[in-house]
Amino acid sequence: MLITQSASKFLKRKSTLNLGGELIDLSSPIVMGILNVTPDSFYNGSLIKDENELLKRAEKMLDDGATILDIGAISTRPGSDIISTKEELERLLPSVIAIRKNFPDAHISIDTFRSWVAVRVMDEIGPVIVNDISGGQLDSKMFETIGKLKVPYILTHMKGTPQNMQEDPQYDDVIKDISAYLSDKVRKLTKAEVNDVIIDPGFGFGKEIAHNYELVNRLDSFKVFQLPVMVGVSRKSMVWKILNVDPEKALNGTTVINTLALMGGADILRVHDVKEAMDVISIFHAIKLTL
């Protein structure tokens, strides 16, 4: 059985996340807006040059309907260089402080795989969601730290590291292999007393295009975990390579996959384009009313 007895407290699926005593409602799908404060994002349209642009983009995302703003200061695109913790914090801290000051009611997520970065951010602005693309693989103290901080944690499947994850990744069965990985991690998170876990199957993180589309087609397989599911396919190569375009022209394809992801049970859409994702959710609700 994929879910062990130690993970039993997750068996009754939660419809909320507890972020510092404030509940985020997941009874209906929500949108997470991506804010990259890196100089080397794979999508040029997401590059943010200064604080003024950051705040304008954050305001637009919130106005367009984003429930969460996900701020990342280190690129994890395939083959990217890993910067130091010091450099990550120099980019990240001013950004999260500015957003907290200007949008005090906004729910903030930080895209980091370093537990010390999470601690420093929360020392400055209070509780945030931690979005760890490595599933704790790149920092052995991450689960323990999240358990102590009592904040929601996004558990992502990644095969390898950003430097080598796309070097011929192989699976016996992509769904079974990822499910086994997630089951092991959920068990460890339970032991660390992490109360709110979101699972992300990790589109593009150590997967060939065929693997990614099998994940889309079988996304409902992850319902067995009774945990919220996040899908992040926004403008990724699995979209633009199929369409023979570039990330700048991959919005329509992203919208198609986000629609399929909702039909497969996704609870959170992580996107660059919030308004379009909110449109997808509106159409999804209209479809559900006819069922």
Looking at the structure of the chain, the number of domains it has is 1
Domain membership flag for residue 11: no
Q: Token pair of 144, please?
A: 């323990």
Identify whether 187 is a catalytic site residue.
Answer: no
Phi, psi at residue 186, to the nearest 5°? -60, -40
- CA–CA dist 67, 87 (Å, integer): 28
Which of 71, 73, 72, 69 is CA-nearest to residue 30?
69
Domain membership flag for residue 52: yes
pLDDT of residue 185: 97
In the DSSP assignment, the letter for residue 47 is B
| DSSP notation for 56-88 | HHHHHHHHHT-SEEEEE-S--STTPPPPPHHHH
Which of 11, 13, 2 is CA-nearest to residue 178?
2
Domain membership flag for residue 105: yes
CATH number at residue 222: 3.20.20.20
pLDDT of residue 240: 95
pLDDT of residue 93: 97
Identify whether 236 is a catalytic site residue.
Answer: yes
Domain membership flag for residue 119: yes
Residue 217 belongs to what domain range? Answer: 27-289
What pTM does this model have? Answer: 0.91
pLDDT of residue 75: 77
Q: Token pair of 260, please?
A: 């399929």
Which of 221, 256, 224 is CA-nearest to residue 242?
256
pLDDT of residue 12: 61
Q: Which of 159, 236, 249, 275 is catalytic?
A: 236
Q: Which of 114, 120, 207, 270 is catalytic?
A: 270
Domain membership flag for residue 179: yes
Residue linked to tokens 């992040």: 232
pLDDT of residue 164: 55
Domain membership flag for residue 22: no
Domain membership flag for residue 44: yes
pLDDT of residue 279: 98
pLDDT of residue 5: 39
Q: What is the pLDDT of residues 78-94, one digit of tens each?
A: 666 788 999 999 999 99
Domain membership flag for residue 16: no
- Residues of the chain below pLDDT 50: 1-10
Q: How many residues does the chain have?
A: 291
| DSSP notation for 167-210 | SS---SSHHHHHHHHHHHHHHHHHHTT---EEEE--TTSS--HH
